[in-house]
A and B are shown apart, each in its own frame.
Chain A
């Protein structure tokens, strides 16, 4: 055997050894938990044959508690680059089969290395989390590792899209990396996220709760809003990631890949979807589907704060971010959660040059002590801030109700919307006819012989005069009152003429949004 082939054989043996991860037993255990091994996950997520792994031979450097005798393959994490939809991405996946995917200093250094590559190469970063947490034997070095990751998540924020996939436990401090990224994907029964677990909660507060109810996939999609996409299986989750990335640019100076333009499907009829009676609910997602290419709409956080809908579609092949009040849930009101959800989405779109289309049908803010005490003033302000700050093309279509503070908040002309259109069914006024008539005509109503009849008459008068789009149109607050059937055409031409939009903010270090 020549010297070269000897050397190559050694390389192959070393590679083979490192690729075994935690060994057959640990891998069998991982599979028994319904989870795929780390490299298998990456293979399924990326385009076939595109993955190149780095730092396979990394060794941990712990010298306490007998760690010096332990061999941890790749130190429990796999990093590399590859392609999704033909576009380059950087990826890391924690390997639960190696020391429970615990995070030590070299493990963290691998992750921060691929994060630095992603930033330098200006490509999306995808992190697959499956870890028992800090490697206790490595003490403060392990904490240092987390800190370095969180710092880079913040540094990368708004430059490259960052995606977190929770495919196992992600507990304690570790949760803050996903929380700092743009999109969090979870899988039913597999994902677990919490700061303190059920046992600590029981011992400190005496409250009993199981892990699934505390921090399972469903809870983070429905209750906390920490996660953005819910899947039944890992395969479904990977398909969701690919679909999301197809709408996004590689970085903040790039454009999303254009797709072949298509028309909305005929079954989504915009005129038939929206009832003219403003008290009748409907599913606003059907309006969006009547506007976008091939009626394909990717909804984000569809299970949380359902009273507002956010997500991506395409118009003439180009990605557009949609924000729409959802009359089907909570009458489409604005509240703490819906403001929070929409504000975050707007900031992502603005950072990545994605135009925003707002569909408005909203009776106002949700009344209630719990809302006021939960800080609806502070949370609601996030929405105003995000819309005002955004400099991408911003188009608003008022379908029906646009009342009070909510009218201002939903990308009104006054927050520098580029184009505002209203349907003839729009009601743009300072408040609902009932409330307004009761205040303005209080004296007449009180002094009338039949106050109830007078009240009804005054409400009708107010409705006739003000619950329409023409008062706002007469002031130029809306650009056109349009036939609902022409909505796509109006959005399309607005996007077309906004291509070279150049609107800036005053020079500053950064703004101070109310968070």
Chain B
């Protein structure tokens, strides 16, 4: 019993705080206090549940709408050759660059018709996944 308590205490310390979490349904009214992003309080009609929040939940990234004007890398790799310049008009499917990744010379093609605003990647550069390669002018 004593050991059990000890284990729980350790867990509580690691999580710092015990949070309250209510039933999540359409009827729920909730608020995330500005003071601490680690606190989540969800209450339904005055009813509250106490709970720990997981590390994964606390570290999650909020969803952001993707910007259609930005072409990002889908895989870690390196830029071999760039075919476009700022100001250039391109059609959907036109070759933007050769991007080497996983033993393959991948062709990055244009996702839309438009004008190139900026070429953000440089030839020879090694990039992670999600790196900005090319920016289009906003329509």
Q: Quick check: B28 and A200 within 8 Å, CB to CB?
A: yes
A206 touching B102 by the CB < 8 A rule? no
- Stretch of B7-15, B81-89, B104-112, B115-123 lying at the A interface: B104-112
Q: Chain B contacts of A213 at CB under 8 A?
A: 65
CB distance from B73 to the nearest CB of A (A): 11
Distance (Å) between the CB of A404 and the closest chain B CB? 12
On whether the beta carbons of B62 and A205 are closer than 8 Å, the reply is yes
Which residues of the partner chain A approach B129 to less than 8 Å between Cβ atoms?
368, 370
Query: Cβ of A401 and Cβ of B65 under 8 Å apart?
Result: no
Q: Does A203 lie within 8 Å of B105, measured CB to CB?
A: no
Q: Is the CB of B75 within 8 A of A204?
A: no
Number of interface residues of B (CB under 8 A): 23
Interface string of A333-372 (1 = CB under 8 A from B): 1000000000000000000000000000001101110100
Q: Is the CB of A331 within 8 A of B102?
A: yes
**Interface bits B35-69 vs A (CB < 8 Å: 1, else 0):** 00000001000000000000000000011010000
Task: Establish whether residues A206 and B32, one from each chain, have CB atoms under 8 Å apart when the complex forms.
Answer: yes
Give the distance to chain A from B106, nearest Cβ to Cβ, in Å.
6
Residue B24 is within 8 A (CB to CB) of chain A in the complex: yes
Is B92 positioned at the interface, with any CB of A under 8 Å from its CB? Answer: no
Which single member of A196, A209, A278, A280 contacts B24 (CB below 8 Å)?
A196
B101 at the interface (CB under 8 A from A): yes
Bound-complex Cα distance A279 to B100 (A): 9
The reply to whether the CB of B74 lies closer than 8 angstroms to some CB of chain A is: yes
Contact of A330 among B24, B29, B75, B107 (CB under 8 A): B75
For A331, the chain B residues whose CB sits under 8 A away are: 75, 101-104, 106
Q: Does A207 contact B (CB under 8 A)?
A: yes
Residues of chain B with a CB closer than 8 A to A200's CB: 24-26, 28
User: Cβ of B107 and Cβ of A203 under 8 Å apart?
Assistant: no
- Contact of B42 with A204 in the complex, beta carbons under 8 Å: yes
- Tell me, yes or no, whether B124 is within 8 Å of chain A by CB: no
**Shortest beta-carbon distance from B50 to chain A in Å:** 17
Are the C-beta atoms of A363 and B103 separated by less than 8 Å? yes
Knowing A200-B24, A200-B26, A200-B28 touch, does A330 contact B102 (C-beta < 8 A)?
Answer: yes
State whether the Cβ of B93 lies closer than 8 Å to any Cβ in chain A: no
With known contacts A199-B26, A203-B30, A366–B62 Cβ distance under 8 A: no
7 A-B residue pairs with Cβ-Cβ distance under 8 Å, sorted by A, are: A200-B24, A203-B28, A203-B29, A203-B30, A329-B74, A330-B102, A363-B103
Name A residues whose Cβ lies closer than 8 Å to a Cβ of B.
196-197, 199-200, 203-207, 209, 213, 278-281, 327, 329-333, 363-364, 366-368, 370, 401, 432
Where the two chains meet, the residues of B that have a C-beta atom closer than 8 Å to any C-beta of A are 24-26, 28-30, 32, 42, 62-63, 65, 74-76, 100-107, 129
